[in-house]
Amino acid sequence: MLTKSFKYTPGEHEAEKASNSYLMSLIAVIAGLPLPIINLIATLIFYLGNRKATYFVRWHCTQALLSQFSLFLMNSFGFWWTISIVFSSETLSTNYLSYILTLIIFNAIEFIATIYTAIKTRKGIHIQWWFYGSLTNLICKA
Amino acid sequence: MKKSFIQGLIIVFLFFATWIGLSELDWMTIFQVKKVQQSTEQKLGDLFWNIYEKSQNELKSRKILAPIDSLLDKICISNKIDRAKIKLHILQSDEVNAFALPDNHLVIYSGLILASENEAELSGVMCHELAHLELNHVMKKLVKEIGLSTLISMTTGNGSGEIIKKATKILSSSAFDRKLEKDADIKAVDYLVAAGIDPEQFANFLFRLSEVEAKMPDGFSWISTHPESKERSEYIISHSSRKSHKYKAILAESTWLKLKEQL
SS3 state of residue A121: helix
A44-49: average pLDDT:
84
How does DSSP assign chain B, residue by residue?
A: -HHHHHHHHHHHHHHHHHHHHHHTS-HHHHTTHHHHHHHHHHHHHHHHHHHHHHHSPBP--HHHHHHHHHHHHHHHHHTT--GGG-EEEEE--SS--EEEETTTEEEEEHHHHHH-SSHHHHHHHHHHHHHHHHTTHHHHHHHHHH-HHHHHHHHTT---HHHHHHHHHHHHH----HHHHHHHHHHHHHHHHHTT--HHHHHHHHHHHHHHHHH--TT-HHHHTS--HHHHHHHHHHHHHT-------SS-HHHHHHHHHH-
Interface of A with B in 96-115 (CB under 8 A): 97-99, 101-102, 105-106
Interface of B with A in 156-195 (CB under 8 A): 177, 180
Q: What is the mean pLDDT of chain A?
A: 83
Give the Å distances, CA to CA, from B152 to A84, B28, B45, B242, B245: 18, 19, 13, 43, 44
**Given this model, what pLDDT does residue B215 score?**
64
B23 interaction partners in chain A (CB closer than 8 Å) = 94-95, 98
**Given this model, what pLDDT does residue B220 score?**
59
Low-confidence ranges of chain B (pLDDT < 70): 149, 158-160, 173-175, 213-227, 244
Residue with the larger pLDDT of the pair B166 and A55:
A55
**Given this model, what pLDDT does residue A32 score?**
54
Q: Which of B125, B113, B103, B129 is nearest to B67 (CA)?
A: B113
Q: What is the ipTM of this complex?
A: 0.86
Q: Name the band, by pLDDT with cuts 50, 70 and 90, for residue A37.
A: confident
Q: Does A5 touch chain B (CB under 8 A)?
A: no
**Given this model, what pLDDT does residue B222 score?**
64
Q: Name the band, by pLDDT with cuts 50, 70 and 90, for residue A89.
A: low
Q: Which of A114, A88, A94, A45 is nearest to B177 (CA)?
A: A88
Position A46 pLDDT exceeds 70 = yes
SS3 state of residue A3: strand
Q: Name the band, by pLDDT with cuts 50, 70 and 90, for residue A91.
A: confident
A112-121: average pLDDT:
91
**Given this model, what pLDDT does residue B229 score?**
74
Predicted TM-score (pTM) above 0.80:
no
**Given this model, what pLDDT does residue B9 score?**
92
**Given this model, what pLDDT does residue A40 score?**
79
**Given this model, what pLDDT does residue B225 score?**
58
Q: Least CB-CB distance to B4: which of A92, A94, A134?
A: A134
B143 interaction partners in chain A (CB closer than 8 Å) = 86
A23-50: average pLDDT:
75
